Amino acid sequence: MKNIYLGGIAAVALSIGAVAYANQPVLSPRSDTYQQLELFGDVLAIVQQDYVVKVDSKKLINAALQGMLASLDPHSNYLSGEDYSDLKEKTKGKYGGIGLEVTSEDGAVKVVSPIDDTPAQKAGMQTGDYITAIDGTSILGIPLNDAVNKMKGDPDTKLTITVVRSGKPEPFDVTLTREIITVKSVKYHMEGDDGYIRIASFSENTAAETKAALADLMAKNPKMKGLVLDLRNNPGGLLEQSVGVADLFLNGGEVVSQRGRNPDDIIRYQAHANGDMLKGKPMVVLVNPGTASAAEIVSGALQDQHRAAIVGLTTFGKGSVQSVIDLGDNRAVKLTTARYYTPSGRSIQKTGIEPDLEVAQTKEQAKYIASSAMQYTEAAYANALDADEGKVRRSPHAVQEVPPDNFDTKTGDFELTRALDVLADNGDVKLAAAHPRGVKMADSELVDQPGARFKKMLNDAKAKASAPAAAAAGTSSSAASSSSAVKK
């Protein structure tokens, strides 16, 4: 069985992106393929017989499968029992852990986004943080799933993670208490005369929850003038749920198309006629670099159909679809099988959705956008798929608006403030842009010193972690290499 998945960022447990589930394919055997499999068997036999300590064949084969799929792109993977269970739990919106979406970069665990109302979010964890140790033990270089498992545990138990953060001179420890993580996909309230809906991820009931939230807002506030849909730091989720959410605001037309390797392999998802629950009221979608995959589908559909203005920062840029192919015995393959395209036919793979009004939440975030060394997006992956049209992500630049000095970023939400300004102008984003509240930072304020210092800190942390192993090896390495035997 195969499920469709639009996501691809690992999580604690795993991540969600855009997912679908599919049937196992019929394989076409080729002689050269079987010759390579024989070679694999020969190498496996040599390792089993001659490696310095006894090895677990099952672990070796699992690692080989994971390595094969991971070499394709950052989002393809082999899911053994626990990993597959984690993925299924996550798409249901409930799992155990501390509430972080994470990925792996250069052997370190990198935070994609903290999940709303979880221990990690309450402790102030931020997108772009690196986790280098758990309970005093380095996790540099270990498989991502192993690091994730170390962060999971029984509710009410504590763990301490060591964090490297841009702008901080030294690594620091954060102590968290594990709990059952129930992801609240949808939250909502009124902002003056305008409604506000926050979608944290696209799990099994997100479309229905969004519909209920919107209906409740409109029933209790019949004079509601417009709506802000907040998709910031939304890592994605189930494809059909993103289509269902976009459908709530559209009167027909295409939401997204999915195109595979075969040019004729195109699936188009359409909105229902007369489906716009807002009846044309102005709408703004808030996005940032943590807005990924399924969340980008919603943003792109509403932007291309001229239904909503996009405010914030360019999104993550994950424009691929993963199919989860069930292999039985609680094992599966998560494989990239298609790219997705917005209604106008553009792929956002690597490039992301660019906002109509570019606004940074803080000056520090603006520096992040201005520095290539600090960018964390799909384009940062060495083996990411290219955009189908050969487009590239916008280069580092000065953000259009940042909060003025008299705006309190600790208590206020500048991006939301500007979104409400757009609604006050009846959705006219050009009019709002012509009357900025914020400022554009001078080039002198955008020097990439934080990025350089951050890279040095990470390299120092890696060197420190590897020092004990190097010391233990001492000068024996050259002697060992010179005495290596050749097996024939």
Residue 326: active-site member = no
What's residue 113's pLDDT? 80
- How far is residue 132's CA from residue 458's CA, in Å, rounded to a whole number? 9
Asked whether 448 and 397 are in contact (CB, 8 A), the reply is no
Residue tagged active-site, from 73, 116, 304, 326: 304
Pair type for strands 283-287 and 226-230: parallel
Residue 318: active-site member = yes
| Packed helices 239-247 and 206-220: angle between N→C axes, nearest 10 degrees | 20
Q: What is the pLDDT of residues 262-290, one digit of tens each?
A: 888 899 999 999 999 999 999 999 999 98
What's residue 475's pLDDT? 41
* Domain with 353 in it: 186-322+337-445
Domain contains 376 = yes
More confident residue, 286 or 448: 286
One domain for residues 372 and 269: yes
Task: Read off the CATH number of the domain in which 310 is found.
Answer: 3.90.226.10
One domain for residues 248 and 163: no
One domain for residues 105 and 78: no
Dihedral, CA of residue 159, residue 165, residue 170 and residue 171, to nearest 10: 20
Whether 182 shows a pLDDT value over 80: the answer reads no
What's residue 222's pLDDT? 96
What's residue 251's pLDDT? 98
What's residue 431's pLDDT? 96
DSSP helix/strand/coil, 299 = helix
Smallest Cα–Cα separation from 233: which of 296, 164, 166? 296
Residue tagged active-site, from 15, 113, 293, 299: 293
Residue 464: active-site member = no
Whether 234 shows a pLDDT value over 60: the answer reads yes
How many domains does the structure of the chain reveal? Answer: 3
Least confident of 25-29, 69-73, 161-165, 417-421: 25-29
Domain contains 452 = no
Share of the chain above pLDDT 70, in %: 81
Domain contains 304 = yes
- Amino acid at residue number 474: G
Domain contains 419 = yes
One domain for residues 63 and 102: no
What's residue 136's pLDDT? 94
One domain for residues 386 and 431: yes
The structure's pTM equals 0.74
Domain contains 194 = yes
Domain contains 31 = no
Domain contains 482 = no
Asked whether 17 and 7 are in contact (CB, 8 A), the reply is yes
Smallest Cα–Cα separation from 133: which of 166, 108, 158, 157? 108
- How far is residue 129's CA from residue 102's CA, in Å, rounded to a whole number? 10
Asked whether 125 and 111 are in contact (CB, 8 A), the reply is yes
One domain for residues 70 and 133: no
Residue 431 φ then ψ, to 5°: -65, -40
The contacts of residue 299 (CB under 8 Å, 6+ apart) are: 231, 285, 287, 291, 310, 315, 353
One domain for residues 12 and 60: yes
Task: Read off the CATH number of the domain in which 119 is found.
Answer: 2.30.42.10
One domain for residues 163 and 292: no
The contacts of residue 408 (CB under 8 Å, 6+ apart) are: none
One domain for residues 426 and 279: yes
Q: What is the pLDDT of residues 353-378, one digit of tens each?
A: 999 999 999 988 888 788 766 677 88
The contacts of residue 116 (CB under 8 Å, 6+ apart) are: 183, 184, 187, 198, 200
One domain for residues 158 and 17: no
Half-sphere exposure of residue 468, counting CA atoms within 13 Å on the CB side?
4
Residue tagged active-site, from 88, 90, 318, 334: 318
One domain for residues 255 and 283: yes
Q: What is the pLDDT of residues 12-39, one digit of tens each?
A: 333 334 555 555 555 555 668 888 999 9
One domain for residues 158 and 112: yes
Share of the chain above pLDDT 90, in %: 53
